[in-house]
Amino acid sequence: MRVVARLLLGPSVVVAVALIVKGYTKVGDGFAAGMVVGLAVALNAVALGARGAEEALPVLRHAPRVAAAGAALALVSGFFPLALDEPVFSHRPGPDEKVVSVGTAELMTAVSFDVGIFLLVVGVVTVLVHQLADPDQEHST
């Protein structure tokens, strides 16, 4: 179980990235991607216990920061047009402009907004899982 949990984490992140990148053309978006990673984290927590998972994956410690960063990224992607005197959520590149793409990944602000959602969902879900799994050491003793 532990091994599986550990092993699944990597692929889950890959799947999540794929979901985001493909999201604009195929099924999937930031919410789904976030939930995939969140599930992997939850699996870790189930397998190792919240504290164990935190020790095994110190990255998890940054979950609140990840959530905040996601919110900030989404906010910026949504509201930067205001600085250019356009309505909010007018994404760049605009309609009929060429999109630079790296492979199938397209670089545009809508995608960065999606990435923001992804980060936020990951962060929030991780926090939720860990808090509920292990509310407060002082009380559970």
Partner 1 sequence: MADATTDATTDASVAPTSRPRLDVQGWSCCAAAAAGFVVCLVGWLRGGATVSLPWAPTLGVRLDFAFDGLAALYALLATGVGAVVFGYGARYLSQHLADHGRPRSERWRFWPWMALFAVAMVGLATATDLVLIFVFFDLTAVCSYFLIGFDRERREARTAALTALLVTIVPAVALLAGAVLLSATYGTFSVPELVERAEPGTTTTVAGLLIVVAALAKSAQVPLHFWLPRAMEAPTPVSAYLHSAAMVAAGVLVLGRVHPLLARSEVVLTVLLVVGLTSIAVGGVLALGRDELKQVLAYSTISQYGYVVTLYGMVGAAASGAAAFYVVVHAVAKCALFLSAGAVTTATGEDRLSHLGGLGRRLPVLAGATGVAAATLAALPLTGGFFSDELFFGAAKEQGPVLVVAAVLAAALTFAYIGRYWMRLFLGPTGTTPAPLSRVLVVPVVLLALVALVVGVLPAPITQLAEDAGAVSHAAPVALSPAYHLDLRATNVMALAAWTLGGLLLAVTGLRDRASRALAVAGDRLGPRRAYTASVLGLRRWSGRVHDWETRDLRSSIAAVLVPAGALAAAAFASTPIAQAYSVGPISGTDWLVLPLLALTGVATVVAARTRERLSIVLALSAVGFALAAVYALQAAPDVALVAVLVETMLTLVFLAALARLPGTEPRRESAPRAGRRWRDPVIGAIAGLGAFAVIWGYLSEPREAPSVSADQIRLTPAAHGKDVVTVIVADFRGLDTLGEITVLLIAAVGVATLLRRGRLWLPRPGRPGARRSSCGWSPGSCWDRASWSPSP
Partner 2 sequence: MTLAIAAVAAVLFGAGSYLLLQRSLIRVVAGIALISQCAIVTIIGSSLSEGRAAIDPEQGGPLSDPLPQALALTALVIGMGTLALLLALVHRVVVAHGTAERDELRDVDRPAVVDPEGAGRREGDETE
Binding site for partner 2 (CB under 8 A): 25-27, 29, 31, 35, 121, 124, 128, 131-132, 135, 139
Smallest distance, Å, CB 55 to partner 2?
23
User: Peptide bond preceding 93: is omega within 30 degrees of 0, i.e. cis?
Assistant: yes
78 binds partner 1 (CB under 8 A): yes
Distance CA 26, CA 103 (A): 15
Of 105, 35, 34, 117, nearest in space to 73 by CA: 117
Query: Does 136 interact with partner 1 (rule: CB under 8 A)?
Result: yes
Would strands 105-106 and 101-102 be described as parallel, antiparallel, or unpaired? antiparallel
Contact 28, 20 (CB under 8 A): yes
State the DSSP code for 91.
-
Element (DSSP H or E) covering residue 98: none
Q: Which of 13, 17, 31, 80 binds partner 1 (CB under 8 A)?
A: 31
Residue numbers at the binding site for partner 1 (CB under 8 A): 23-32, 35-36, 38-39, 42, 46, 51, 54-55, 61, 63-64, 67-68, 70-71, 74-75, 78, 88-89, 91, 93, 95-96, 99, 106, 108, 110-111, 113-114, 116-117, 120-121, 123-125, 127-140
